[in-house]
Amino acid sequence: MKQQQPSGAVDMSNSYDDNEIVNNSSNAHMSDIMSLRLNRRQALMGAVSATTTMLLGTASLSACGGGDDPAPAAAQAAAPATAKLALGFTAVAKNKNDVVTVPDGYQVSILHALGDPLHYGDESWKDNGSESADSYNRRIGDGHDGMYFFGLAEDGKFQADRSDRGLLAVNHEYVVQPYGLHPAGITAGAIRLASEVEKEIYAHGVSVCEVKRGTGNDMSMVRGSRYNRRVTSATEMAFTGPVKGNAVVKTKFSTDGQKTRGTNNNCANGYTPWGTYITCEENWLNVVARAAGDNAKRSAKEVAALNRYGLPENRKSPYLWDTAGTDDLFVRWTSSVTEATAADDYRNIANTFGWVVEIDPFSPTTTPAKRSALGRFNHEGAWPALAVAGQPIVMYMGDDARNEYIYKFVSKAVWDTKDVNGGMAAGAKYLDEGLLYVAKFSADGSGQWLELTFGKNGLDASNATFAFADQADVVTHCRIAADILGATKMDRPEWGGVNPLNGEAYMTLTNNSNRVATTATPTGNQLKPDAANPRYYEDMKGTTSQKGNPNGHIIRWREAAGSVAATSFAWDIYLFAAQSDAAADVNLSGLTAVNDFSSADGLYFDPRGMLWIQTDDGAYTDVTNCMMLAAVPGKVGDGGAATAAGGTATVKGANATADTLRRFLVGPKDCEITGIAVTPDGKTLFFNVQHPGEGGTLAASTSQWPDSQTASASTKRPRSATVVVTRKDGGAVGV
Ligand code: FEO
Ligand code: CA
Ligand code: CA
């Protein structure tokens, strides 16, 4: 999502920008460090377990298409030696049409869109905003984002290799456009209408629905399935891990800090090897306010923490949910001291968001858990490393704001395949105890994971910057801990993923307008380029100049010594996004008309090892709508040294070619393409279109999608939706 700016009631002076910079630390930039030394490459991580084989399904395994290394042992055993993964479709041309454009031989259908009823008893979407607030507890929410497909067996359990029937969990990040949800858009004014806010609270969160193939590989939602479920910004959830019961999360709702209500602004996602869904809380500042004069009622430490997380005093939230009345449903959106103690008000509500939340889609009555050991920040998502029996469970995570960090969680418990289908108990086993790390990228292509543990690395009560009281304090304020340790500030970490064929991890760095020239004197929150965020250049959008790193890049790393728990790694930049006609030191990956793109956001390795890249762009949108590309990546170290626009040295991967990267689809007008899942057999692909027509208004809509997909003269409202893509000949997608 680019920005949260509903019109009407919103006080724009306080509107929240999802790209907002709140990192004021003075960590060294890598331009200040060393010249490149490429001879320190570490060995390819080789271990892929039997568990991985199980998760992938034997039919889907194939050798990595991008390098000379042999495939990992498990893959070799299961795949014919000749089964190279190869792209096999005609690239879709860039365009600005109000439809999803897929390659010849492919077809699309809409699985579900904003407002569709999950159960019987509620009316279908009326296209006039008349649906009741309460009905959104049973309808598909707004702002479709991250998602995951879980194969569903006849006994109601997770079956990793099942493709024809499953549970699809989808994030509903935010209320995209006021004209979608309400009869006439948001009612203007500084005070919100309770009925509208209530509807918005229930339209956020997560949906789980059963999906099934009918004829062919197309999928439909099973309306009325007992698995269909909504989790919203009002759903009760448990705190687990270090903050459970800690003073930092005590509220009027939970005076002992054991629980809270709601998950918010669920952007990207994750999944676990035991079969649960992970949803992550990104731009929760959209809905959390803080009153004027609140600093005087707080300790200096609390004020520093709130400021570092982007919540200074006298900050209204863009959605103004706290203004809708005196009911607890609304009052709780102000993180302000209003009563005698934290057990009497919601001064700590900000500390209840920014977490990783685990949901068991197979057990609709279980309480979701905020897994606090994985830290609190603008959580884009959480992506597991390959699950290796006897090794820890590892999650990679990014903090999506300019100049924020990449994190890694390593569980204390080691993976036992008997925990598949272990539900929330398995989640507690693997995600409540472990070590949290933050990444430091060095200019020589090596990197380190810096440990964020109370009592280590100066993270204790004697720290001069922030007196950490305990591990709850560290995970709640891990941005501050990461500042202190000197982690590397990145160009907005968005999605990550792990290559199932070799264990290497990837993460998109979508863009950063606050990079300045190496010769400039940075002011405020500006940064000079560094090796891991190396480009500084000017990009023209029509006649508008955009400076910094407007197109973004994708970084990747390989853990040292083949261990997911390693504390060092080797990295390179897999891909630089650029227009194909850009200068050579901007278009460093050699993109052409069949694969040029800007601002990667979503990223997903499907079970076969095909990589999918999705864009949420504002730089190339004068030429094309946002898009999705398919890739067959190589591996860390398959390229070499390069000098980026602006003069900074870096390490890049092999150039892209039409054989390794190709545009698979283009979305409708004013949308973001985000969220993707592919069935284990590779034959059904799901992706999400978020905020079509976001540039318009209710009166003058710029998109009528999804109706426009089949009705060119549509006058219907645009809606976020999940799209199903299949091949007309019944084959696997992408190949
Ligand atoms: Fe919700 Fe970072 O995109
Ligand atoms: Ca984005
Ligand atoms: Ca995103």
Alpha-carbon span 351 to 341, nearest angstrom:
16
Q: Is the peptide bond before 706 cis (omega within 30 degrees of 0)?
A: yes
| Angle of CA points 673, 675, 681, to nearest 5° | 115
For tokens 């991580």, the residue is 45
Q: Ligand 3 center to residue 619 CA distance, Å?
A: 16
Over residues 318-325, the mean pLDDT reads 97
| pLDDT score at 29 | 38
Residue 709 has pLDDT above 60, yes or no: yes
Polymer length of the chain = 735
Q: Ligand 2 center to residue 673 CA distance, Å?
A: 10
Burial class, 82, CB count within 10 angstroms (exposed 0-12 / middle 13-18 / buried 19+)? exposed
| pLDDT score at 390 | 97
- Residue 497 corresponds to which amino acid? G
pLDDT band at 21 (very low <50, low <70, confident <90, very high): very low
Q: Which residues contact 55 (CB under 8 A, 6 or more apart)?
A: 160, 273, 387, 500, 607
pLDDT band at 500 (very low <50, low <70, confident <90, very high): very high
pLDDT band at 81 (very low <50, low <70, confident <90, very high): very low
| pLDDT score at 41 | 27
Nearest CA to 735 out of 17, 287, 83, 272 is that of 83
| Angle of CA points 212, 218, 219, to nearest 5° | 30
| pLDDT score at 23 | 58
User: Can you read off the two tokens belonging to residue 520?
Assistant: 């400039």
CA quadruple 412, 415, 418, 422: dihedral, nearest 10: 60
Alpha-carbon span 113 to 675, nearest angstrom:
14
Over residues 326-338, the mean pLDDT reads 97
**Index of the ligand 1 atom closest to the CA of residue 18:** 2
Alpha-carbon span 650 to 629, nearest angstrom:
24
Residue 270 has pLDDT above 60, yes or no: yes
pLDDT band at 203 (very low <50, low <70, confident <90, very high): very high
Atom 3 (ligand 1): residue with closest C-alpha?
A: 1
Alpha-carbon span 514 to 550, nearest angstrom:
9
Alpha-carbon span 295 to 314, nearest angstrom:
9
Determine if ligand 1 sits within 6 Å of the CB of residue 404: no
| pLDDT score at 36 | 26
**Index of the ligand 1 atom closest to the CA of residue 510:** 2
Other Cβ atoms closer than 10 A to 88: 15
Q: Ligand 3 center to residue 525 CA distance, Å?
A: 22
Handedness of CA 685, 691, 693, 694 (dihedral sign): negative
Q: Ligand 2 center to residue 674 CA distance, Å?
A: 9
Helix (H, G, I), strand (E, B) or coil at 732: coil
Q: Which residues contact 39 (CB under 8 A, 6 or more apart)?
A: none
pLDDT band at 24 (very low <50, low <70, confident <90, very high): low
| pLDDT score at 71 | 34
- Residue 254 corresponds to which amino acid? S
Determine if ligand 1 sits within 6 Å of the CB of residue 494: yes
Give ion ligand 3 contacts, CB < 5 A.
267, 494, 601
Cα 512 off chain centre by: 17
Residue 47 has pLDDT above 80, yes or no: no
Burial class, 2, CB count within 10 angstroms (exposed 0-12 / middle 13-18 / buried 19+)? middle
Note the ligand closest to the C-alpha atom of 143.
1
**Mean pLDDT score of the chain:** 90
| pLDDT score at 84 | 86
| pLDDT score at 25 | 59
Over residues 180-204, the mean pLDDT reads 95
DSSP-derived secondary structure for 162-227: --SEEEEEEEE-----HHHHSBTBSPPSSS--HHHHHHHHHHSEEEEEEEEE-STT-EEE-TT-TT
For tokens 């990444």, the residue is 439
- Residue 469 corresponds to which amino acid? A
Over residues 399-417, the mean pLDDT reads 98
| pLDDT score at 14 | 35
| pLDDT score at 222 | 98
pLDDT band at 238 (very low <50, low <70, confident <90, very high): very high
Residue 90 has pLDDT above 80, yes or no: yes
Rounded to whole angstroms, what are the CA distances from 572 to 42, 395, 565, 676, 729?
Answer: 12, 20, 19, 25, 38
Burial class, 194, CB count within 10 angstroms (exposed 0-12 / middle 13-18 / buried 19+)? middle
| pLDDT score at 176 | 82
Other Cβ atoms closer than 10 A to 51: 19
Rounded to whole angstroms, what are the CA distances from 322 to 82, 191, 249?
Answer: 60, 9, 19
Determine if ligand 1 sits within 6 Å of the CB of residue 399: no
For tokens 């919601």, the residue is 346
pLDDT digits (tens, 9 = 90+) for 532-543: 999 999 999 989
User: Can you read off the two tokens belonging to residue 345?
Assistant: 């008000």
What are the residues facing 544 on neighbouring strands? 541
The pTM assigned to this predicted structure is 0.91
Contact between 510 and 627 (Cβ < 8 Å) = no
Helix (H, G, I), strand (E, B) or coil at 629: strand
Q: Ligand 1 center to residue 720 CA distance, Å?
A: 15
Q: What are phi and psi of 236, to 5 degrees?
A: -70, 135
Please count the helices (runs of H) and the strands (runs of E) in the chain: 9, 36
Residue 302 has pLDDT above 60, yes or no: yes
Determine if ligand 1 sits within 6 Å of the CB of residue 400: yes
**Index of the ligand 1 atom closest to the CA of residue 267:** 1
Percentage, residues of the chain above pLDDT 90: 86
Q: Ligand 1 center to residue 584 CA distance, Å?
A: 29
Nearest CA to 683 out of 724, 653, 654 is that of 724
Residue 581 has pLDDT above 80, yes or no: yes
Residue 3 has pLDDT above 60, yes or no: no
| pLDDT score at 699 | 87
Alpha-carbon span 573 to 555, nearest angstrom:
4
Residue 15 has pLDDT above 70, yes or no: no
Q: Ligand 1 center to residue 400 CA distance, Å?
A: 7
Residue 54 has pLDDT above 50, yes or no: no
Over residues 549-578, the mean pLDDT reads 97
User: Can you read off the two tokens belonging to residue 288?
Assistant: 């959390």
Other Cβ atoms closer than 10 A to 67: 18
Q: What are phi and psi of 322, to 5 degrees?
A: -70, -10
- In SS3 terms, 226-292 reads as CCCEEECCCCEEEEEHHHCCCHHHCCCCCCCCCEEECCCCEEEEEECCCCCEEEEECCHHHCCEECC
Contact between 699 and 639 (Cβ < 8 Å) = no
Residue 17 has pLDDT above 60, yes or no: no
Determine if ligand 1 sits within 6 Å of the CB of residue 280: no
Give ion ligand 2 contacts, CB < 5 A.
601, 616
pLDDT digits (tens, 9 = 90+) for 100-111: 999 999 999 999
Alpha-carbon span 394 to 385, nearest angstrom:
5
Nearest CA to 632 out of 665, 601, 595 is that of 595
Cα 490 off chain centre by: 15
| pLDDT score at 615 | 98
Burial class, 523, CB count within 10 angstroms (exposed 0-12 / middle 13-18 / buried 19+)? exposed
